[in-house]
Amino acid sequence: DTEVTQTPKHLVMGMTNKKSLKCEQHMGHRAMYWYKQKAKKPPELMFVYSYEKLSINESVPSRFSPECPNSSLLNLHLHALQPEDSALYLCASSHPRTGQVHNEQFFGPGTRLTVL
Amino acid sequence: KNQVEQSPQSLIILEGKNCTLQCNYTVSPFSNLRWYKQDTGRGPVSLTIMTFSENTKSNGRYTATLDADTKQSSLHITASQLSDSASYICVVIAAGGTSYGKLTFGQGTILTVHP
């Protein structure tokens, strides 16, 4: 299995809702990432987990709460979002090796989030 | 500040024609450079990964070049197909730092192939 899967593909939520995005990979990767991508812009890094521990939080608002229950799963819990949070949310995974040459990140298809 | 600049921003070509996309970067110290293809509403898919010592790398109809001295890379697409219509993103990874490598993304070039 050489792919990263994300669910749901599309999500519409109100500003008072609580929802979760899910990401799964079975490539044995021990680093997992959340990115946010607005239309016609490059992805922006939000969080990095390495060996199930949060390693990087790019000053993301607390209404986004990541969780890594095990080495294959990564969740992003959403609460009290704003309309400007509407975007494509991408998950990625990689081997956290010290040699970065082979540290390719594999991206999932993304979840298209719309906040009303 | 690490930056990656791509040109052109958008490009329209006819099916069967060739095209070349450009990427200039100021990421230092350099580790590797990647070209990704991203279809609308989908995640990026890696086309090539190039290290400091590699000048050219091909993947089917895609050929990437790297000039580490001038810090420039190009992606050449041969005999374009309608399915090549997508955003092409240049990504550069700096050496050192964390072992998982923080990516610096270019803004992308939107390629449209017309029949």
Residues of B in contact with A58 (CB under 8 A): none
Least confidently predicted of A47-51, A83-87, B82-86, B87-91: A47-51
Query: Between these two residues, A27 and B81, which has the higher pLDDT value?
Result: B81
Which of B34, B98, B105 has the CB atom closest to A43's CB atom?
B105
Average pLDDT over all residues of chain A: 90
DSSP letters for chain A:
---EEEE-SEEEE-TT-EEEEEEEE-S---EEEEEEE-TTS--EEEEEEETTEEEEE-S--TTEEEEEEETTEEEEEEES--GGG-EEEEEEEE---S-GGG-PPEE---EEEEE-
Task: Give tens-digit pLDDT for B12-37.
Answer: 999 999 999 999 999 888 888 999 99
Task: Give tens-digit pLDDT for A37-82.
Answer: 998 899 999 999 988 999 888 889 999 999 999 989 999 999 999 9
Residues of A in contact with B107 (CB under 8 A): 41-42
